[in-house]
Structure 1
Amino acid sequence: MLLAVIIGCEIGFWVVLGAGLASRYLLRWRPFSTVLLLCVPLIDLVLLIATVAHLRSGATADWSHGLAAAYLGFSVAFGHSMMRWADQRFAHRFAGGPPPWTPPKYGRERTRYEWREWGKGVLGWAVACLLLLAGIWYVADPARTEQLWAWIGRLTTVIVIWLVAFPVSHTIWPAKPKPSS
């Protein structure tokens, strides 16, 4: 059941975001679009309430509870930049706005970009791990929270791999433009 709520929240995120952007740029209903866009974080609140209610009902935490925590953590860390990304593209496509910002491809700017994105990832990891630890504390039964501990390990592995694969590799071997022929 919780997996369906997670999927519904992801779909809801994009539907509410799309409706907010459409009402802003296509219908020119700026106050209404502002209300819709301010409602986007409420979708995360729905997922948090559903997860807590499921654990409170006596459910044993499984991988979907860990996925919910990861979703919430990374939504907190990347939600604003995802909304900005969509806003720029929508404004450009439908309202004659400037071309959307693109990340730098080379040099120190690219390295700074990779470190900044990884920093957001660390924030997402931290929020997710705090939610997982809160779930472990709340349930207070090691037999029912084994999967939450496993998710802390998975998320930590991912954030370390990300560190090595992108920020560190770009720091050591910064991308350079291809020589023109």
Structure 2
Amino acid sequence: MVIWIIVAEVAFWIAIVIGLIFRYVLKLEKLSLFFFLLTPLIDLALVLLTTVDLQSGTTATTAHGIAAIYIGVSLAYGKSMIAWADEKFQVWFLKKPSTKRTLLGREKGIYELKMWARHVIAYILGSVLLWLMIFYVGLESTEALFNVWRIWSIALIIDGAISLSYILFPKKTA
């Protein structure tokens, strides 16, 4: 199962890089969109592979739980990950100046809370998948999945506290 997660992650980034090459180097905007639209299909393939693996009688493992996290994160952060890769591609390969500016104070706090909101969305999506797996496989053999969910729940709370700290204690200078 771990190999499929790695393959999905690699395929995700290859699709993005190929999309960026088609967009900026080959100037084929519409074809670049095709590769960006492949990313959710890669996620769907990972869901199907995870389901098939569990259907075959494999004991649920941490890798199965990570697959659910991967899918939730990819769906919640997918657009921003592509935007990040787009900006980095332009800076690194096209030698364009970075348009990213340092956020401070309230603006930084609002940004961090928005990113935490995406984390909450990823958590909800991934949790639904995790709990579907738990009930599908049967509660007696899914301790690894429950542990993944429990650790992610703690990480979500910590991330929320850190994000809130940017509002409560804003940084005033760079």
Q: TM-score range by the shorter chain?
A: over 0.9
Instruction: Pick the aligned partner of 1:117 from 115, 118, 122.
Output: 115
Match of 2:59 in 1: 60
Conserved 8 A contact 1:63-1:148: yes
Contact (CA 8 Å) 1:26, 1:94: kept in 2 or not? no
Residue 143 (structure 2) pairs with residue 157 (structure 1): no
Q: CA deviation at 1:113?
A: 0.6
Alignment of 1:94-133 (within 5 A): 94-95=93-94, 99-102=98-101, 104=103, 106-133=104-131
Give TM-score, length-normalised by structure 1: 0.89
- Matched with 1:173 is 169
Give the structure 2 partner of residue 143 of structure 1.
140
Structure 2, gaps ≥5 residues long: none
Q: CA deviation at 1:94?
A: 4.4
In the TM superposition, residue 77 of structure 1 has moved relative to its aligned partner by: 1.0
Equivalent pair of 1:88/1:99 in contact (CA under 8 Å): yes
2: CA distance, partners of 1:171 / 1:129:
27
CA distance in 2, matches of 1:99, 1:72: 29
Q: Indicate the percent of aligned positions where both proteins have the same amino acid.
A: 34
- Displacement, 1:102? 4.0
In structure 1, give the amino acid aligned to 2:54.
L
- The amino acid that maps onto 1:124 is A
CA distance in 2, matches of 1:126, 1:103: 30
State the 1:99 CA deviation: 2.5
- Give deviations 1:95-123, integer Å, cap 9, x for gaps: 5756333451x110011011001110111
Q: What CA distance in whole angstroms lies between the structure 2 residues aligned with 1:127 and 1:102?
A: 31
Q: Distance in 2 between matches of 1:100 and 1:73?
A: 28
Aligned residue number for residue 44 of structure 1: 43
Deviation for aligned residue 1:75:
0.8
**Is the 8 Å Cα contact of residues 88 and 97 (structure 1) preserved in structure 2?**
no
- Measured after TM superposition, the shift of residue 58 of structure 1 is 1.0
**Alpha-carbon distance in structure 2 between the residues aligned to 1:44 and 1:56:** 18
Deviation at 1:93, TM superposition (A): 4.4
Unaligned runs of 5+ in 1: none
Change (3 A) 1:48 1:103: farther
Aligned to 1:9: 8
Q: Tell me the TM-score normalized by structure 2.
A: 0.93
